[in-house]
């Protein structure tokens, strides 16, 4: 049996983390870049690189103060990565002198001519940190670590909570698990984790069906008991609300009958598809427009011992004539493509990759999906619209516009719809919102029923 490869030295991890930062600046996804990172370095690079991306705004402003003339992109990425990791924090990953020394070592390998410059800038920051941090935090980018357009949109959508929301994007998220309901329970899995020395707690919200477990400390999935055997998955608590809304498993809700016909319209990578099948016997069709992403749905179902439980097709859900067999669905889950602004603490590259114009294009796509799929729903059926976004343009504004386009009396918005869930301690958007869950990612949910007497326009 081969021994696991040792972790690379910190200088190598910093070099790779700087490559990740540079890739994001060039418009590449951190997730895609990390998938190609050397396996023995991936965990360390992910931890350092994502932390640097969370504070990249402050680091960029700091570099402008310390070195107004920008260095070459590769040097700038390494410098900003080191500055972000040296930024004051409650639990620094490494002592200052270690970070500076290892960043200089990384520069020797990457761009030897830049060593004196990088060394001087980092040491000056350590010496003058308090004054420099104060100066940087007087700038919007330095204070909030989000682009100006993003800050303005959050401020407009959530005038009393915008600062808390932007701060929440800087915090490492908890690691939440979904226990496979066909194999075990959340309470039993908490006990199983305790037996291997991992602390965890069961999330008590009844809408999570006793399957949601939150770890006290994140860990690689390979260290989770039963992960490879399909007993548990990683899924945030907000995302886990989807299955109950689709299945009608809550108090006073009409549950779907066994064998109900269900469409998961934008299903990759398959977490919600799998959750539905873990909790019910369904005739389920899962679609995704990208063949590579559709393959990930199949991989997810394979790991969870659910192959063959769903039909998976790589097709654009809007092109109904290409895939629909004419039989209506009892329920549709539309987890629509969106800005992913609600999961920015988990994927901090998103804030640097998105542009303001993206929201208009995404809103058009969301409208087109709603318009295409609604006629496929049987009278008496339900459609769950979801986005992992805190922007109202992708949540309540889309549903308000959609409901206005429908013929009067043809549909009703269920009062149990969670609406906007915000990544804040109380996870509530506004007075009168549905019951909240434990702090989780930002999400929007609308549950819409098609009335039995509905006639399509």
Residues 404-437: pLDDT tens digits? Answer: 999 999 999 999 899 999 998 765 544 444 445 5
Residues with active-site annotation: 388
Helix axes 115-127, 56-66, angle to 10 degrees: 100
Question: What is residue 78's predicted lDDT score, i.e. its pLDDT?
Answer: 98
Q: Does domain 241-450 have CATH number 3.40.50.150?
A: yes
- Which is higher by pLDDT, 310 or 3? 310
Lowest mean pLDDT: which of 8-22, 284-298, 432-446? 432-446
pLDDT > 90: percent of the chain: 87
Planar angle of CA 32, 36, 38, nearest 5 degrees: 140
456: pLDDT strictly greater than 80:
no
Question: What is residue 2's predicted lDDT score, i.e. its pLDDT?
Answer: 45
Question: What is residue 254's predicted lDDT score, i.e. its pLDDT?
Answer: 81
* Contacts (Cβ under 8 Å, ≥6 apart) of 317: 265, 266, 287, 289, 323, 334, 369, 372, 373
- Which is higher by pLDDT, 432 or 166? 166
* Contacts (Cβ under 8 Å, ≥6 apart) of 436: 421, 426, 427, 428
pLDDT confidence of 289, banded at 50, 70, 90? Answer: very high
Question: What is residue 457's predicted lDDT score, i.e. its pLDDT?
Answer: 42
Model's pTM, two decimal places? 0.92
pLDDT confidence of 439, banded at 50, 70, 90? Answer: low
Instruction: Taking the CA atoms of 149, 152, 153 and 154 in sequence, report the sign of the dihedral they define.
Output: positive
Give CA–CA dist 329/116, Å, rounded. Answer: 66
Question: What is residue 112's predicted lDDT score, i.e. its pLDDT?
Answer: 93
Question: What is residue 437's predicted lDDT score, i.e. its pLDDT?
Answer: 57
Domain ranges in the chain?
A: 10-145, 176-234, 241-450
Name the phi and psi angles at 352, rounded to 5: -90, -20
Give CA–CA dist 274/305, Å, rounded. Answer: 10
Lowest mean pLDDT: which of 65-74, 244-253, 340-349, 361-370? 244-253
Question: What is residue 67's predicted lDDT score, i.e. its pLDDT?
Answer: 94
Residues 143-171: what's their mean pLDDT? 96
Lowest mean pLDDT: which of 49-58, 102-111, 329-338, 447-456? 447-456
337 in helix, strand or coil? coil
Contact (Cβ atoms closer than 8 angstroms) between residue 87 and residue 55? yes
CATH code, residues 10-145: 1.10.940.10
Residues 335-360: what's their mean pLDDT? 97
72: pLDDT strictly greater than 50:
yes
What CATH architecture is 176-234? Answer: 2-Layer Sandwich (3.30)
| Arithmetic mean of pLDDT over the chain | 93
Q: How far apart are the first and last CA of the chain?
A: 65
The DSSP bridge pattern shows strands 329-335 and 377-387 to be parallel
Q: Which helix (H) or strand (E) holds 124?
A: helix 115-127
3: pLDDT strictly greater than 70:
no
pLDDT confidence of 146, banded at 50, 70, 90? Answer: very high
Name the phi and psi angles at 2, rounded to 5: -75, 140
Question: What is residue 157's predicted lDDT score, i.e. its pLDDT?
Answer: 97
């Amino acid at each position: 049996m081969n021994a696991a490869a040792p972790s690379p030295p910190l200088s190598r991890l910093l070099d790779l983390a700087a490559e990740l930062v540079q890739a994001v600046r060039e418009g590449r996804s951190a997730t895609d870049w990390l998938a190609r990172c050397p396996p023995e370095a991936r965990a360390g690079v992910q931890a350092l690189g994502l932390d640097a991306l969370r504070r990249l705004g402050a680091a960029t402003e700091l570099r402008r103060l310390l070195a107004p003339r920008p260095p070459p992109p590769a040097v700038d990425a390494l410098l900003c990565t080191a500055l972000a990791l040296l930024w004051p924090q409650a639990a620094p990953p490494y002592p200052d002198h270690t970070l500076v020394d290892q960043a200089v070592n990384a520069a020797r390998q990457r761009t030897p001519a830049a060593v004196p410059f990088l060394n001087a800038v980092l040491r000056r920051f350590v010496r003058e940190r308090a004054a420099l941090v104060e100066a940087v935090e007087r700038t919007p980018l330095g204070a909030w670590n989000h682009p100006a357009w993003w800050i303005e949109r959050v401020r407009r959508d959530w005038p009393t909570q915008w600062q808390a929301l932007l701060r929440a994007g800087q915090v490492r998220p908890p690691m939440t698990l979904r226990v496979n309901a066909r194999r075990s329970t959340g309470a039993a899995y908490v006990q199983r984790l305790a037996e291997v020395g991992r602390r965890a707690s069961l999330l008590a919200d009844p809408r999570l069906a006793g399957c949601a477990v939150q770890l006290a400390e994140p860990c690689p999935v390979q260290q989770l008991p039963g992960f490879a055997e399909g007993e548990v998955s990683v899924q945030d608590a907000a995302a886990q609300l989807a299955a109950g809304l689709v299945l009608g498993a809550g108090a006073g809700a009409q549950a779907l009958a066994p064998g109900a016909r269900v469409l998961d319209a934008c299903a990759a990578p398959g977490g919600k598809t799998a959750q539905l099948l873990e909790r019910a016997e369904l005739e389920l069709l899962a679609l995704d427009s990208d063949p590579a992403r559709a393959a990930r749905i199949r991989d997810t179902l394979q790991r969870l011992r659910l192959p063959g439980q769903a039909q998976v097709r790589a097709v654009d859900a809007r092109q109904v004539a290409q895939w629909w067999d004419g039989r209506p669905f009892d329920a549709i889950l539309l987890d629509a493509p969106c800005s992913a602004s609600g999961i920015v603490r988990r994927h901090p590259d998103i804030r640097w990759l998105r542009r303001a114009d993206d929201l208009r294009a995404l809103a058009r796509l969301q409208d087109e999906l709603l318009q295409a799929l609604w006629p496929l729903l049987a009278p008496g059926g339900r459609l769950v619209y979801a986005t992992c976004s805190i922007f109202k343009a992708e949540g309540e504004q889309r549903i308000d516009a959609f409901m206005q386009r429908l013929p009067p009396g043809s549909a009703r918005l269920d009062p149990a719809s969670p609406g906007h869930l915000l990544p804040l301690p109380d996870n509530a958007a506004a007075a009168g919102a549905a019951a909240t869950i434990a702090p989780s990612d930002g999400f929007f949910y609308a549950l819409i029923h098609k009335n039995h007497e509905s006639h399509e326009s």
